Chain A
Amino acid sequence: MNYFAQATQFKCPSCGGGLSLVDKRANYITCHYCGSVLDAQSKTHQVLTKIGKPAKFPPMSFVEIGQYADLEGVKYRVIGRTRWQMQYKEWDDEANRFADSSWIYDDWLLISEHGTYYYLVEDKEGFALSKTFWPKFPNLNQNEKLKDFETGTGRKAREYGQASVKFFEGESTFQIQEGDTIHFANYRTSAERAVVVEYSYFKDSRSLQEIKFWSDQKLSKQKVLTAFNQAENPPKKAFKQQARVQANQKRASKLAGILSLFCLACLLGLVVSCGNTDVFRQDLPVNLAKLKAQPAPASEVQPDGSTNNEAANVRLVGQTNTFELPKAGQVMMFTVGYDAPSYFDAWAGVEIVEASTGDVVNAFEYDLYRDDESYTSEYRTFKVDKPGTYLMRVYTETGATFSGSTFSISFNTDGTVPEVNEADLPKIYVEVEKAWVLTRYFLIGFLVSFTLLIIVGVSWAK
Chain B
Amino acid sequence: MNQTVNCPSCGAALPQRFPAAKMLVCSYCGETSFLNADRWELAGAGKAVLADYGSMFAVGRQGKLDKKPFTVAGRLRLSYHGGFWDEWLLLFDNDEPGWLQEDEGNLTLFRQAKHVASHHLPPYEGLRVGETIQVGGQAFFIMEKNEMKIVGGEGELPFRVVPGQAGAYAEGVGKGQPLSLEYLPGEASFNLGTPLRWKDFTWEQQAQYV
Contact = CB atoms under 8 A, between A and B. Distances in A.
Contacts of B129: 207-211
B141 A116 contact: no
B105 A115 contact: yes
B54 interface: yes
Contacts of A1: 208-209
A1 B173 CA distance: 35
A227 B105 CA distance: 21
Nearest to B55: A115
Interface string B167-210: 00000110111100000000000000001011000000001110
Kindly name the residue among B53, B142, B177 whose own CB sees the greatest number of chain A CB atoms within 10 A.
B53
Contacts of A210: 129, 143-144
Given A138-B143, A209-B129, A174 B82 contact: yes
Contacts of A3: 54, 209
Contacts, number: 81
B209 A111 contact: no
Nearest to B193: A134
Interface in A112-127: 112, 114-117
A1 to B, nearest CB: 6
A210 B82 CA distance: 12
Contacts of B208: 1
A117 B104 contact: yes
Interface string B108-152: 000000000000000000001110100000000111100000000
Interface residues of A, number: 32
Contacts of B141: 138-139
Given A134-B178, A136-B176, A115 B209 contact: yes
B77 to A, nearest CB: 11
A132 interface: yes
Contact of B56 (A114, A138, A211): A114
Kindly name the residue among A1, A134, A209, A212 whose own CB sees the greatest number of chain B CB atoms within 10 A.
A134
Given A24-B54, A210-B144, A211-B143, A111 B105 contact: yes
B56 A115 contact: yes
B6 interface: no
A50 interface: no
A132 B106 contact: yes
Interface in B154-172: 172
A356 interface: no
A238 B208 CA distance: 32
B106 A208 contact: no
A248 interface: no
A2 interface: yes
A27 interface: yes
B118 to A, nearest CB: 25
Contacts of A140: 130
A25 B176 contact: no
A25 B104 contact: yes
Nearest to B130: A208
A116 B54 contact: no
A174 B83 CA distance: 6
A151 to B, nearest CB: 12
A208 B142 CA distance: 10
B184 to A, nearest CB: 22
Given A116-B105, A116-B107, A135 B173 contact: yes
Interface string A1-20: 11101100000000000000
A199 interface: yes
Contacts of B209: 1-3, 5-6, 115
B104 A173 contact: yes
B145 to A, nearest CB: 9
B126 to A, nearest CB: 13
Kindly name the residue among A2, A140, A210 whose own CB sees the greatest number of chain B CB atoms within 10 A.
A210
Interface in A129-146: 132, 134-136, 138-140
Contacts of A6: 54, 209
A385 to B, nearest CB: 84
Contacts of A212: 143
Contacts of A115: 54-56, 102, 105, 209
A226 B144 CA distance: 37
Contacts of B195: 134
B144 to A, nearest CB: 5
Contacts of A209: 129, 144
Nearest to B178: A134
Nearest to A113: B209
A113 B55 CA distance: 10
Contacts of A174: 82-83
Interface string B33-67: 00000000000000000001111100000000000
Given A24-B53, A173-B82, 10 more contacts: A6-B209, A25-B54, A25-B84, A117-B105, A134-B195, A138-B143, A138-B173, A173-B84, A211-B130, A211-B142
30 contacts: A2-B209, A3-B209, A5-B209, A23-B53, A24-B53, A25-B54, A25-B84, A112-B198, A114-B207, A115-B54, A117-B104, A117-B105, A132-B106, A134-B195, A138-B132, A138-B141, A138-B173, A173-B82, A173-B83, A173-B84, A174-B83, A199-B130, A208-B129, A208-B130, A209-B129, A210-B129, A210-B143, A211-B129, A211-B143, A212-B143
Q: Which 10 pairs between the two chains have the least Cβ-Cβ distance?
A: A116-B105, A173-B83, A208-B129, A174-B82, A24-B53, A138-B141, A117-B105, A136-B176, A211-B143, A114-B198
